[in-house]
Every structure is written in C-alpha cells, then in structure tokens.
Structure 1
Amino acid sequence: MNHNILYSFRRCPYAIRARWALLNTNQVVELREVELKNKPIELIQISKKATVPVLQTRLNKVIDESLEIMIWSIERSNMHELLGDNNNEKLEVIFSLIETNDKVFKYHLDRFKYASRFNFEESASHRAEAMKILLSLNNRLKVFSNEGKPLFLVDAKETLADWAIWPFVRQFRIADIKKFDQNHEIKHLRSWLNYFFTHEKYPIIMKKNEPWSKQNEPLFFGQ
C-alpha cells in the first residue's frame, strides 16, 4: 500500500476531529466514506471495533482511536505547539479537558441530543450537566478575552484540546441551534466555535462524499 487510508463518516464528531487534524497538519489520506449500516469488509478486517474513524497507514499500521490519529498527524508534522510545546503542565491540562469532553460531556450530550434512544424524561437534566461543562470552557475563554488574548482553551494558544473538543460542541449546538446561539452565558464559547465554522478548511472537512466502493476512483483528502 503506497498511501494512508482513512475510514470516516461525515457527521461523526470523532471522525470530524480526525479529519480536521489530518487536514491541518498536511497529511494526505485516501478518504473512504463509510455507510454505518453497511460497513465495508475492508474496515471490519483491519479493526475489531469497526467504528470510524480508522486510519490504515501506508506502513499498514492501524489506528482506530480518533485522538491517536490526531496525535499521529501532529507528531508527523512536528507541530509540537499543538501539544503544549512538550510542556508537561500544559499537556496535562490539554488531556484533562479532552478527557472531560470524551468521558463526561459526550455521555450527557448523547442523552440530551438523542433523548428518544434513552430516557426522554431525563433529557433536561443531561442538558444541564452538559451546560455546566460548556460554561467551564466559556469561563476559561473569558479569562483570555479579558486579557485581550486569542480565544483558545489552553494558554490562549491553539492546541489539541481545541481541535478535539469543538466537533462535540458543534453537536450540542445542533440539538437546539436557536437556544445555543442566543445564550449570552456562553458568548465566548460561541465565538470560539465560530472560529472553526468560519475557517477556510471547514467546508473541506464537512464536504458530502459518496459512500466508498472498490469500484470508485480513490478520493484523496488533504491535497
């Protein structure tokens, strides 16, 4: 195999953040859009989880965790500033924020956004718990805003934390766009999210593609 392959799904926040990292670190991959109800055997054969995203490198290494794909791409590009410039204290904050997002926020997000799949009566309480986390992110950004610094989550500098978290905040917004956009309590977080929405590369990572088939010409992403 002479190129990297990424199995992806357009709307999945884990896949979004993997694509975002790959694109912004100039890593070219063959993008294979997956139909979740009809997963290709090629994906199932290389990953027991068979959940997107999955990266198969040209050296045949399989990475099936989105965060690991992001770190792989950052390290290959030597963009160490995204990992806190190898400062252990900053790195700890970065991964602490991501862990809260992945393990706590995502739990409440799913039970709020997809209430019909869980317990609809508990939807409001899950939204409230998710909002607590969003407010804590907003407060981090507020400090930097008051100091006239850029709106990024760690030390007012763009890091892996920003890249890993924004697709999930996007999912939260989609559940009730009007309510999110009119919430003054999270105005700094809304500005932070808008940075990604208005980024020139946002349309590229969110472009709709046909499900992958062996019969199709390879679709290269990141060129």
Structure 2
Amino acid sequence: MLIPKNTIYPILYSLRNCPYAMRARLAIFKSKQQVELRDVVLSNKPQAMLIASPKGTVPILVFESEKGSETLKVIDESLDIMLWALQTNDPDNLLGQSSMPNGESLQNMLSSIATFDTEFKTDLEKYKCAKRYHEDNLLEYRQACEAHIQTIEKRLQQHTYIMSNEESLVDIALLPFIRQFARVERQWYLQAPYPNLRQWLNNYLQSPMFSKVMTKYPLWLEANDRIILG
C-alpha cells in the first residue's frame, strides 16, 4: 500500500527472506501497527540505515526524532520489535496478558524463544551449510536440529499451538526458522515423523497473513514509492 509523502510512520528496514526481519513483520502485522517498509539488500546498505544502527543488520525500526532532539529512537533486535508492536496493540493476545489455558507467562515464552534462538539456530546454520556444501556430517546436524523439533512436535500433539490452544508470541517468533528447517531437505521433511509440526507450519504458510507479510516489494533504493506495512 502506498502512503502520502507527508504521512510519518516508524521506518522498518527489512530483508524479505531474513527470518529475523520476517518475524518482526509478522508481529507488526498482527498488532495492526503501520510502519513504512524499506526493503534492502545487505550488499548495498543504505546510509540512512547505517546511521540509525551501525551494526547494519535487519530488522531495524526507526522512529522520528522527538521535537528538539537530534537522537533517533531505534530498535534493532527482532524480538524487541515484536514486543514493541504487541505491547502497543495485541488484539490476538499473543503476549498472554489475558489468562492462558496452560498458565504460560510472557517470561516463559521469552525463555522458550531464547533457547530456540541460541541452540536451535546454531544447529540450523550448521545443517544448512552441510547440505549446501555436501558435507558428510549432514545427518549429525539434522539430528541436532531434531532434538528441538521433537520438543515442538510433542507440544503440538497436546494443543493446537506451541504453548497452548491459543496462538502466542512463540509461534510467530519460531515460524521463520522452522520454515527454514523444513526447506533444507524437503523430501526428507515431508516424510519425517512430525505430522503436527507440518500441519502447524502449513497453516501459517497458506494463510493470507503470511502472503501479505511475504509480499515482494521493489528495493527501497531503487524505488520512489513509500510502502506501508500493516
């Protein structure tokens, strides 16, 4: 959606297939917030993006400077962007502010995400590299990933979503990485003993929400139009 030039929104620097940027976009979409989306490529990082966050990785959310201040407000961690969006507006109760069936708290959710982000993500990168470079330790790294996938499969045997029968922050935070896992060895994955995980993932991948979040836009540096997400 194009927006008038004089309308001011927070600016989200994003990369379409980056899992961290993807989960930030998912949370923004779920929260019904509106941001100006700037799709970039990391081989040609915009100067404005590097000024906002010198580490130069996406996602980066930039707010207009407050009156009289030269300092930009910047959020440059994907989970922090998710929390900003959902703490501003959480119509689906993804943060569990209302009581959750299993008594899960936000702290429990953040703990689950942190474990996944540190342990599973490391194993996933090794698994992807082993497949890409035809290394002989592919099975070893796949099995390391499966230790985490099996935990999620067991949870999904008990309820519709990862934490309970209600969708939560954990689902949309883990979704982009599980999507990557499913794509490494596609044929193996389709026959692997994880039917509940496949159903959970397919429900997301086939949803209108995912299609909108994954819409391909022109790169910001190559286009004159401003794009709104949300």
Q: How many angstroms apart in 2 are the aligned matches of 1:165 and 1:34? A: 23
Q: Measured at CA, do residues 198 and 117 of structure 1 come closer, stay the same or move farther in structure 2, by a change above 3 Å?
A: closer
Alignment deviations for residues 10-61 of structure 1 (CA, whole Å, 9 cap, x no partner): 1100011001111111111111111111111111111021100000124542
CA contact (8 A) 1:74 1:80 kept: no
1:179 aligns with 2:188: yes
Q: How many angstroms apart in 1 are the aligned matches of 2:171 and 2:104? A: 17
Number of aligned pairs? 215
- What residue identity is the alignment partner of 2:27? A
CA contact (8 A) 1:108 1:126 kept: yes
Q: Measured at CA, do residues 95 and 208 of structure 1 come closer, stay the same or move farther in structure 2, by a change above 3 Å?
A: same
Q: Which residue is 2:93 aligned to?
A: 81
Q: Which residue is 2:19 aligned to?
A: 13
- What residue identity is the alignment partner of 2:221? S
Q: CA deviation at 1:89?
A: 4.7
Q: Which residue is 2:39 aligned to?
A: 33
RMSD (Å), alpha carbons: 2.1
Q: Which residue is 2:174 aligned to?
A: 165
Q: How many angstroms apart in 2 are the aligned matches of 1:24 and 1:34? A: 22
1:219 aligns with 2:227: yes
Q: Which residue is 1:203 aligned to?
A: 211
CA contact (8 A) 2:30 2:90 kept: no
TM-score, L = length of structure 1: 0.89
- What residue identity is the alignment partner of 1:211? L
Q: CA deviation at 1:119?
A: 9.3
CA contact (8 A) 1:80 1:86 kept: no
Q: Which residue is 2:83 aligned to?
A: 71
- What residue identity is the alignment partner of 1:212? W
Q: How many angstroms apart in 2 are the aligned matches of 1:177 and 1:215? A: 35
Q: How many angstroms apart in 1 are the aligned matches of 2:212 and 2:188? A: 27
Q: Which residue is 1:110 aligned to?
A: 125
Q: CA deviation at 1:187?
A: 0.5
Alignment deviations for residues 86-136 of structure 1 (CA, whole Å, 9 cap, x no partner): 668522331122112110111010111123788933332111110110011
Secondary structure at the aligned position of 1:163 is classed as helix
Q: How many angstroms apart in 1 are the aligned matches of 2:141 and 2:209? A: 32
Alignment deviations for residues 128-178 of structure 1 (CA, whole Å, 9 cap, x no partner): 11011001100011022xxxxxx1111221110001001100001111122
Q: How many angstroms apart in 2 are the aligned matches of 1:215 and 1:41? A: 16
1:57 aligns with 2:63: yes
Q: Measured at CA, do residues 197 and 84 of structure 1 come closer, stay the same or move farther in structure 2, by a change above 3 Å?
A: same
1:122 aligns with 2:137: yes
Q: In the alignment, which of 105, 109, 112 is matched to residue 90 of structure 1?
A: 105
- TM superposition outliers: structure 1 runs of 4+ over 4 Å: 86-89, 116-119
Q: How many angstroms apart in 2 are the aligned matches of 1:173 and 1:114? A: 14
Structure 1, unpaired ranges of 5+: 145-150
Q: Which residue is 1:147 aligned to?
A: none
Structure 2, unpaired ranges of 5+: 1-6, 66-71
Q: How many angstroms apart in 2 are the aligned matches of 1:158 and 1:166? A: 12
